[in-house]
Amino acid sequence: QERGWEPVMERERFRLWRRPIPGSALFQYRVFGSYTDVTPRQFFNVQLDTEYRKQWDSLVLKLDVVERDPATGSEVIHWVTQFPYPMYSRDYVYVRRYSVDRDRNLMVLVSRAVEHPGIPEDPEHVRVRSYESHMVIRPHRGFDENGFDYLLTYSDNPQTVFPRYCLSWMVSSGMPEFLEKLHSAALKAKKMELELRDYLS
């Protein structure tokens, strides 16, 4: 219902929109998706478990929790990811925070880029300083029953000189691919009964 969103892609399990970010050549993206074969808890935990992601996401070069605040649950993450040749890999330093609202039957995961004195820039990577991601997960029933919808809103500035249409293609093709890999990883974790950290407990 918000203004300015234009459809980019529609597949069986999700729809992707974008809208221009004022004052830039970049877009903000929004994905609405739904799965019926994994639980919200599994999907949530797979996203947050950095050690497991190193196994299922082949683009990850580095993914470490640098700092954790026990009082708020906030974590500072250092993430280095491959970009398509001939571009340099990108590195992100971001803080993420999550919450579970049992009364409203919602799970929320928010990330945004930050500066951190312990993670200086590396000339082998390009530091991404503008990055935001917000995901809301709404179970169809409970957190441990199959089925949920999610809404992901995402934007970043990968610091590239590639034309706008190239960048748009990269995101609109890369985002669905990532979400499918995330879904497959959640299915695998469920099937193999992998011991992931439970972020809801």
Q: What is the amino acid identity at position 113?
A: A
The answer to whether residue 198 is domain-embedded is no
Closest CA to 34 of 172, 111, 175, 136: 136
Other beta carbons within 10 angstroms of residue 48's beta carbon come to 17
Would the pLDDT of 1 be above 60? no
For residue 201, give the 3-state DSSP assignment: coil
191 phi and psi angles, rounded to 5 deg: -65, -40
For 2-37, the pLDDT digits (tens) are 678 999 889 888 999 999 988 887 889 999 999 999
Looking at residue 153, its pLDDT comes to 95
The answer to whether residue 103 is domain-embedded is yes
Would the pLDDT of 171 be above 80? no
For 142-154, the pLDDT digits (tens) are 999 999 999 999 9
Write down the H helix ranges in 74-163.
Answer: none
Domain around 30 = 6-190
Looking at residue 72, its pLDDT comes to 87
The answer to whether residue 195 is domain-embedded is no
Tokens matching residue 132: 């935001």
Distance of CA 99 to the CA centre of its chain: 15
User: b or e along 89-118 (b: 16 or more beta carbons within 10 Å of the residue's beta carbon)?
Assistant: ebbbbbbbebebeeeebebebbbebeeeee
For residue 166, give the 3-state DSSP assignment: helix
Looking at residue 99, which CATH number applies to its domain?
3.30.530.20
The answer to whether residue 144 is domain-embedded is yes
- Mean per-residue pLDDT, 189-195: 78
Q: How many domains is the chain partitioned into structurally?
A: 1
Mean pLDDT check: name the lowest of 73-77, 107-111, 187-191, 195-199: 195-199
Q: Would the CA dihedral through 113, 115, 118, 121 be positive or negative? A: positive
Residue 170: pLDDT band (50, 70, 90) is low
- Length reported for the chain: 201
Distance CA 198, CA 121 (A): 32
Residue 168: pLDDT band (50, 70, 90) is low
Residue 159: pLDDT band (50, 70, 90) is confident
